[in-house]
């Protein structure tokens, strides 16, 4: 299992200080909507300038009509990133179009689809999708797999079933990880590292438990130790 640290701090300076402090660790870094809207492509270059070895997951969760999704995906493939995501609920046509138009690109980053946000509980999810999280997350994963994506974003609890219904090598990337019983904040379906491992999660995404801790580097090392 890999660890991906979310760079969700309020300023570019704070995020880059965090990146600097994590130099030398075998981790991925996640650039989210907030950081990307504010600091743009330059921020990605800044990270690479600190350490080329950091792998980058750009978490923009595209959701649009197929043509807009695919043309945006082509632009994302030109950035020095290793993974980005789209919403599975954008549909099979949009996902297939993204994969078709990016398939020939050199060094295409991995493309994964969001199934059910880990901030949803059953009630909130049902209001929008009219079904249970387990059923729908599996359906979304099967559609994503058929469209040729590399994996999905899901909670740890859906990971095993998703792999069973798709492929063992179909990536599961799970946010909502609380390694040491930290506050759940807005996340509803949280798991610790041993649960994530038991559920065969390929990548644990951790934000606040690391960057809000007293010593982010030590916390990251402790998590890596558990992994
Ligand atoms: O701070 P925390 O560990 O909850 O951060 C989780 C990160 O993962 C946030 O950046 C959030 O936007 C992101 N994320 C998520 N659920 C998804 C996809 C991404 O929480 N389905």
- Three-class DSSP category at 164: helix
Task: Count CB atoms within 10 A of the CB of residue 220.
Answer: 23
Task: State residue 53's pLDDT score.
Answer: 96
- Residue closest via CA to ligand 1's atom 20 equals 175
Alpha helices in 30-178 (DSSP H): 33-50, 66-77, 92-102, 122-129, 133-146, 156-165
Quick check: 22 and 207 in contact, CB under 8 A? Answer: no
The residue among 217, 202, 209 whose CA lies nearest residue 83 is 202
CA-CA distances (angstroms) from residue 38 to 11, 32, 43, 96, 134?
Answer: 9, 10, 9, 30, 35
Residues noted as catalytic: 61
Task: State residue 200's pLDDT score.
Answer: 98
Q: 101 C-alpha to center of ligand 1: Å?
A: 27
Let me know the angle formed at the C-alpha of 47 by 44 and 80, rounded to the nearest 5 degrees. Answer: 45
- Residue closest via CA to ligand 1's atom 3 equals 207
Cα separation, 109 vs 134, whole angstroms: 28
The residues lining ligand 1, judged by C-beta closer than 6 Å to any ligand atom, are 6, 8, 32, 59, 114, 117-118, 153, 175-176, 185, 187, 205-208
**Regions of the chain with pLDDT less than 70:** none
Task: State residue 138's pLDDT score.
Answer: 97
Q: 185 C-alpha to center of ligand 1: Å?
A: 11
- Three-class DSSP category at 140: helix
User: CA end-to-end span of the chain, whole Å?
Assistant: 7
The domain spans of the chain are 2-226
The residue among 193, 182, 181 whose CA lies nearest residue 227 is 193
H or E, element range at 21: helix 12-21
Tokens of 218: 């030590």
For residue 153, which atom of ligand 1 is closest to its CA? 21
Cα dihedral sign, 166-78-210-4: positive
Task: State residue 149's pLDDT score.
Answer: 98
**CATH number of this structure's domain 2-226, picked from the four choices 3.30.43.10, 2.30.110.10, 3.20.20.70, 3.40.1500.10:** 3.20.20.70
Task: State residue 105's pLDDT score.
Answer: 95
pTM above 0.85, yes or no: yes
Q: 117 C-alpha to center of ligand 1: Å?
A: 8
Task: State residue 144's pLDDT score.
Answer: 98
């Amino acid at each position: 299992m890999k660890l991906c640290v979310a760079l969700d701090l309020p300023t570019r300076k704070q995020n880059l200080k965090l990146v600097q402090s994590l130099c030398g660790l075998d981790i991925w870094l996640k650039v989210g909507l907030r950081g990307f809207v504010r600091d743009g492509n330059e921020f990605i270059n800044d990270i690479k300038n600190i350490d080329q070895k950091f792998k980058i997951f750009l978490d923009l969760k595209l959701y649009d009509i197929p043509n807009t999704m695919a043309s945006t995906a082509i632009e994302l493939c030109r950035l020095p990133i290793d993974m980005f995501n789209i919403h599975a609920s954008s549909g099979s046509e949009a996902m297939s179009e993204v994969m078709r138009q990016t398939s020939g690109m050199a060094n295409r980053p991995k493309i994964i689809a969001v199934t059910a946000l880990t901030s949803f509980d059953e009630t909130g999810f049902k209001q929008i999708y009219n079904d249970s999280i387990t059923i729908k997350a599996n359906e979304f994963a099967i559609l994503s797999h058929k469209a040729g994506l590399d994996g999905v974003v899901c909670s740890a609890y859906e990971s095993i079933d998703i792999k069973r219904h798709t492929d063992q090598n179909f990536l599961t990337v799970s946010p909502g990880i609380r390694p040491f019983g930290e506050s759940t904040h807005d996340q509803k379906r949280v798991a610790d590292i041993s649960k994530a491992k038991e559920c065969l999660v390929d990548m644990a995404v951790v934000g606040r438990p690391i960057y809000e801790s007293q010593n982010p580097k030590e916390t990251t090392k402790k998590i890596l130790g558990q992994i």
